[in-house]
Amino acid sequence: MNWTFKYNKILEKIFKSGRTSDLEGNERVVNDMISIQEASVLYKMFMASAAEHSIEIGLAHGVSALVFCQAHKDLGQKNGIHYAVDPNQFTEYKGAAVKAVEDAGYEKYLKVLAGPTHLELPELIKQGIKVECAFIDGWHTFDYTLIDFFLVDKILKPGGYIAFHDTYGRAKQKVINFILSHRKYYIDEELMKFSKEPMVRVLKFFIWRIFKDPMLLFSWYHWKYQTKTTSGLIILKKLEDFEPNYDFFKNF
């Protein structure tokens, strides 16, 4: 299977200009998007999962949604749905993601859930919805990220993948530690092969992050990954549905 990502014209425009438009016709600066290499990795993750349904937390300007919806199309998913949870899509972002997906011609794949995770995902759980591929890029605090994961885990099939963005922040690293110690997942190093970046750039990023948060000097994640890439993307594969005993606890 060809997992090479050839991004569509709308994505190309956004990546080149750093701009998009919303449903009100206003031009918007896109300053919170995934990178081109992260888009390629997410596309590869989707293809590896052969997803019929996918989900992301944090829709924003729709760059990652464009990747997932294109993947649905490229995989020939006639009934595939990409669920996108974002309480701010039609307020703060004025439907920018919806507009981008419509302009790309992928609107049949997108279903926006315009509320917070803790209100929207329980409804999917009640409906028995299952997904094979997930991306978490919502509110970055420990509690919200953990809630995002906890609920997504309820609908993610064994063998499926879940990606976390911006994991150079310690709050998200703590969530990763929780997952690895309290659930049956592993970090998929094979899917996380990024294109090589200039060493000087990587080193500058490594130092800049430590300057912002000196505690990263003690972070296993920072030393293992941020010495190789500036990307903050981590991909985990789910081995099985697992619930620990009621009194289970491990330090994380």
Token pair 């293992």 in the structure block, residue: 224
Domains of the chain: 9-197+231-238 (3.40.50.150)
Please tell me the predicted confidence (pLDDT) of residue 105: 95
Report field, pTM of the whole predicted structure over 0.85: yes
Would you say 6 and 43 are in contact if contact means Cβ atoms under 8 Å apart? Answer: no
Q: Which amino acid belongs to residue 208? A: W
Please tell me the predicted confidence (pLDDT) of residue 6: 81
Please tell me the predicted confidence (pLDDT) of residue 162: 98
Using a pLDDT cut of 70, give the percent of the chain over it. 99
> What is the arrangement of strands in the sheet containing 110-113, beginning at the earlier edge strand?
110-113, 81-85, 53-57, 131-136, 156-164, 234-238, 185-187
Q: Which has the minimum average pLDDT: 2-11, 20-29, 57-66?
A: 2-11
Contacts of 59 (CB under 8 A, 6+ apart): 65, 84, 85, 86, 89, 93, 97, 112
Token pair 């899917």 in the structure block, residue: 191
Give the separation between CA 97 and CA 85, rounded to whole angstroms: 12
